[in-house]
Structure 1
């Protein structure tokens, strides 16, 4: 009798190509190599690249850490540790060569050198702004109604979070569970705020608060609400200083000028747009449902890749200067930590 066993690493032994229009990518399922055990088992929430193409990853855990990979995906180092809570969200590499990291649960954004030295904080540690968000709503009401037990998987649990997000009552200043940050060409800081707020904030290059805009959207994906949000999940400033915002639960992307005026809006069939980045020429949006949507800076839709629940589903993405993309699945696709889409054309 002949006994056979199929290879569990079959993804590494085949070539998968995603193509739409002039955009073609080779799918590389597991880009990160040589990760130590504490990193190899962790969830990677998001990441960014530096001008040389090194990759910085936001590792979620207790404590969270920043992980650095070289241009070939090899592990270099990690840092952060006690300086983070257990919910590091997204990060950006700054023109000053530092990293801006959103510490969602502590309601701050922390700036680090690439050696792990804390530069400064934006916001007040553990002091959320007053938006009416109520994380304890589920706990208070669960004994008076029938709820499934799954919400208690994870911290604070997805059901708990959704119940709380539905009860944001008003837009407030910085910060209530911020999610992302980017920088304009003139050095202004633009913050997505985020899980506990429905706002975008602008700070001066010196780090002083300047302006807030946004609004509370309608929990109905069939009703468009440009400029009003459900979940301000990710943010990106393009080469024209246009500000792109992923509104995950609205299945929409809003585009603003620096004063907060809506200049573009795309909704529906985006797979819950969760992460966004630009290479200077194009803006890339990834959805938790497996869709990758590409725009030019004229706010034209130029490519749509992926199908529902395919292996492009991710929590965040970043682009390098060669047009390669790096996807960070987290719970959207737990089989992988870092997926590379190598630009072929």
Structure 2
């Protein structure tokens, strides 16, 4: 896999590294929250109407914005106590891993919980000490069942639900649409197929391939729907989140413990590098990425918990 030829700063026009004509412009001051409201550490999902859902660590844990950035709704107070990633499926159901409660909630977009995966406040790893940073410097000693600090969710074309169980575990879990566990895979480790050191984000393409952001191992691992190892993509700096849209793979990177320099990579479904964004004014890098139907890219920049929106130029 070749290195990119162009590396530009985020916050300015971003030029492509390779084919594709990928050019974007930053929309300044896009999100307009009610007066006095702040965003915390933020996950991003977009529904079929291009409404933007911000699952975040603030007094208002689920904030909904219209595509133009105006405020639309909020909910989740008292329920969504610890945000991480977020996912919306093709039927506009919202999946939310509540990190420190060790559950994944399936909700309607107005906040009705229709399914709970896992057991509230019951960590599957008995060695967890209450701090999600416990195993950031070395992998967990062993794998466990669902869940201990689940990090990400994705749905497959057959309705399967995949959960990356990443901070207190080293596993990917697959459920059917009714919430029945179909299987799990992964082991702690720093190299080799199926070894994870903080499996942090997850996405599934139209063929059912499961992409896992193996954050502290600086790579993506790709599996079949039932967990058979297919391949590895390297050349990342702490990949945190993955979004697949319109034949492209968007990978947010650089928000882990090593403070690497990346912000976002865009690749083809074969792994070809099309564009690489340095963090530039985005500070500590990106934790989440999502793309709407127009190709607009949303990124959570951890420096100041800012939400950035880039539109195709």
Length-normalised TM-score, structure 1: 0.79
Distance 1:214 1:310 in 2: 36
SS in 1 for 2:78: helix
Note the residue ranges of structure 2 that are not aligned, 5 or more in a row: 1-10, 255-260
2: distance between equivalents of 1:19 and 1:164?
33
Using a 3 Å threshold, how does the CA distance of structure 1 residues 165 and 36 change in structure 2: closer, same or farther? farther
Residue 210 (structure 1) aligned to one of 166, 182, 196:
182
Once the two structures are overlaid, the 10-residue window that deviates more, 22-31 or 236-245, is 22-31
Q: Which has the higher contact order (CA 8 A, sep 6+)?
A: 2
Q: Could you tell me which runs of 5 or more consecutive residues in structure 1 were left unpaired when the two chains were aligned.
A: 1-14, 137-155, 219-223
Aligned to 2:213: 246
Aligned residue pairs: how many? 293
Q: Deviations over 1:216-262 (max 9, x none)?
A: 112xxxxx433211001111111221111111111111111101112
**Segments of 4+ moved more than 4 angstroms:** 162-165
- Per the alignment, do residues 170 and 120 of structure 1 end up closer, same or farther by CA in structure 2, a change over 3 Å counting? same
Structure with the greater alpha carbon radius of gyration: 1
TM-aligned CA deviation for residue 213 of structure 1: 0.4
Equivalent residue number for residue 140 of structure 1: none
- Specify the alignment match of 1:341 in structure 2: 310
Q: Distance in 2 between the 1:65 and 1:307 partners?
A: 29
What SS does structure 1 have at the residue aligned with 2:207? coil
**Cα distance in structure 1, aligned partners of 2:106 and 2:27:** 31
Of Structure 1 and Structure 2, the greater helix share is in: 1
Q: Select which of 262, 273, 282 maps to 2:248.
A: 282
Deviation string for 1:248-302 (max 9, x for gaps)? 111111111101112121123x2211111011411100112333212222x2223
Distance 1:248 1:133, change over 3 A: farther
RMSD after superposition: 2.0
Q: Deviations over 1:75-95 (max 9, x none)?
A: 11110001122x111111123
Aligned residue among 71, 80, 83 for 2:79:
83
